Structure 1
């Protein structure tokens, strides 16, 4: 019975033996551990480098020290940690912070330039000219005749006045000048320019419009007087014709009476 159990467990013991023979034995090298700790988190101290020199009368006597550090005498004297005060990683982090500060500064500058450009564009753009407070409160109303020229040309005037001015060419003159002002007005509203320059253009157009409307009103008044004078002449001519007809009838009647008396 015991032999049977032994032969059954023999393959398991063999596998454990093979596994143990192939396993790696951890090596605890104090010098390697000290170097790892020194490079990661502990202070760089050249007196704690292993193996130690074991000096005798100032002369290193440890052969392992010669094999390890004699070929690199400057290595323990310089702090090689990446995260030290002058380490490569510290420099990279500092450079990254400096670059971020610089990029934030440039971003702020570009945002400022963008905002200034946006405000400047909104100030000079013709697309926003109709929202100007001075234009809305004053010039829009004063320059409204330029937006509907034909409808406002003969307000409160009769068709005879219109026909008379069309006949003598005054209406064509008025339309030509009003359309020229309307073209200038549209240019002032749509083109990109300084607000002061736009307001000056509005004002010059308004002055020209007032002068043109004054001349037009004078022509309307003169046309009304001319029509009234023409009508009065026609009435007087009719009266004269009637008077002449009456006189000729009286003369004919007298002649007929005289002829009857002569008989």
Structure 2
């Protein structure tokens, strides 16, 4: 029993020694309210001076505010209109606006660069509307010159053109144009320059095809004349106007000099 009583007395003493007393200092509370959320109220600076004839008479005021007489006159709240935190927030907002501006400017430059690259890129040259609507069809013979060389031509003419080198002349010229055509489609350049290259290649191709067709026609005429002459020599046919036929043969022979 005595031990229990002693324990209770000891517990009470220890509790009283370690306990905390709530201090409600209105000066501290007023300072906390000023600095945190309320307005800067000059009438709530404690302890008050208690003036007598304009002279402070409160010794506690002297120990607290006498060394800082200008402190109550200036709003020191961090979130006041001119407070440090307000300035930091304003600076952060200004930096965000500046960052957004530079980002927008950077995005604009990127979009312009992408548009410019798309405009001059050879990888996207096939998407050009003018190329799709006109030049792709006009320059199609350059995609496969061999298959279009003797379309609808007899084997005799083919053999004659091959033996006399005319076919090799056609292949060399068309291969050169095909190489230029591939450069025009694949290299990076201005759209107008690319279109001009297409047009020049098309004109050169038409000139070569015109000459090639002329060679084919003249070869066919030459072979036909040879056949007719052989038949005449063999007595299979008789020419009604031998003089005219001789003149015609001479003209054909003169024109076919370009085939050799």
TM-score range, shorter chain: 0.7 to 0.9
Mark the runs of 5 or more structure 2 residues left unpaired by the alignment.
237-260
Question: How many residues are matched?
Answer: 236
Q: Distance in 2 between matches of 1:194 and 1:12?
A: 99
Supply the RMSD in Å over aligned alpha carbons.
1.5
TM-score (normalizing by structure 2): 0.86
The Cα of 1:118 is off from its aligned counterpart by 1.6
Give the one of 5, 11, 29 matched to 2:7.
11
Instruction: Indicate yes or no: 2:61 matched with 1:65.
Output: yes
Q: Distance in 2 between matches of 1:173 and 1:16?
A: 121
1:29 corresponds to: 25
TM-score (normalizing by structure 1): 0.85
* 1:225-261, Cα deviation, whole Å (9 max, x unpaired): 1111111222222229xxxxxxxxxxxxxxxxxxxxx
- Aligned pairs for 1:82-121 (under 5 A) are 82-121=78-117
Give the one of 130, 134, 145 matched to 2:130.
134
Give the one of 65, 75, 94 matched to 2:71.
75
The Cα of 1:203 is off from its aligned counterpart by 1.0
1:249 corresponds to: none
Q: Distance in 2 between matches of 1:9 and 1:67?
A: 48
2:167 corresponds to: 171
2:44 corresponds to: 48
1:147 corresponds to: 143
Mark the runs of 5 or more structure 1 residues left unpaired by the alignment.
241-263
Structure with greater proportional helix content = 1
SS of the aligned residue for 1:208 comes to helix
* 1:116-156, Cα deviation, whole Å (9 max, x unpaired): 22222222111111122221121111111101011111111
SS of the aligned residue for 1:53 comes to coil
- Aligned pairs for 1:183-202 (under 5 A) are 183-202=179-198
Q: Distance in 2 between matches of 1:86 and 1:112?
A: 36
1:253 corresponds to: none
SS of the aligned residue for 2:40 comes to coil
